[in-house]
Chains A and B, each alone.
Chain A
């Protein structure tokens, strides 16, 4: 897992992916800390979801950077499920979301990057596992 097979997830294109995940980890952590520390009672559900998103981004960044492919797949999958479920429910039941989360409206507050990111992440993880060594070394 942590040998060459695994460590590839953070190299080449993965290098960019780790950076973008890192930014989101930082952004989501900052956002949820501010929300929970200053106005937790205003909108408990969205703020809790923001915190969950922050944890998911942190673990995904760590997993991608250190080549833990299984953990990366699990967190990126969870991220995709999160953005889809929160995106859909925030449109159907907006009254349950008095304030926005990273994943609200499919992440349109962040240029839909939260929606696209897990798809790119899954593509990268699943594609990498099939690519022969030589190809990856050339990236």
Chain B
């Protein structure tokens, strides 16, 4: 699970950097970026499955529903961002992808918080 999170975080941050370049140059997302985001999404599906297996064995104090909620929520961000972004092929639309790629690593932080019993 940790490995998936590290890979996805790296991919997201690299994508964010690339999107920032696109924004500055006022370009719309290219095929390669969308492929990376597809890869991220596939890994997030694996992440969801691994996470659900892991949470069945969670130590006391971990809010299981909150954890599963965040796992599912994390899965929704990238597709929602891509769909919402494609509705308007402008700088604003591209910036939606930037937000999406930055929110995913943040969700991982929340997941660790919930696991630590903090929430």
Show the binding face of A for B, using Cβ within 8 Å: 11-16, 18-20, 22-23, 26-27, 30-31, 34, 37-38, 100, 111, 139
Contacts and interface: CB of A to CB of B under 8 A. Distances in A.
Contacts of A15: 84-85, 87-88, 90, 92-93, 95-96
Nearest to A30: B69
Contact of B69 (A13, A19, A22, A34): A34
Given A12-B91, A111-B106, A23 B69 contact: no
B9 interface: no
B63 A34 contact: yes
Interface in B65-84: 65-66, 69, 73, 76-77, 80-81, 84
A132 to B, nearest CB: 18
A107 B115 CA distance: 21
B65 A27 contact: no
Given A15-B93, A19-B84, A23-B77, 16 more contacts: A11-B88, A11-B92, A12-B91, A12-B92, A15-B85, A19-B81, A19-B100, A22-B80, A26-B76, A30-B73, A31-B66, A31-B69, A34-B63, A34-B66, A38-B63, A38-B65
Please classify the interface of chain A as helix (H, G, I), strand (E, B), loop, or mixed, using the class held by over half of its residues: helix
11 contacts: A11-B88, A11-B92, A13-B92, A13-B95, A15-B87, A16-B95, A19-B96, A19-B100, A23-B103, A30-B73, A34-B63
Residue among A22, A23, A27 having the largest count of chain B Cβ atoms under 10 Å: A23
A11 B96 CA distance: 11
B99 interface: yes
A30 B84 CA distance: 21
Contacts of B88: 11-12, 15
A58 B76 CA distance: 17
Interface string B39-65: 000000000000000000000000101
Given A26-B73, A26-B76, A111-B106, A139 B91 contact: yes
A72 B100 CA distance: 23
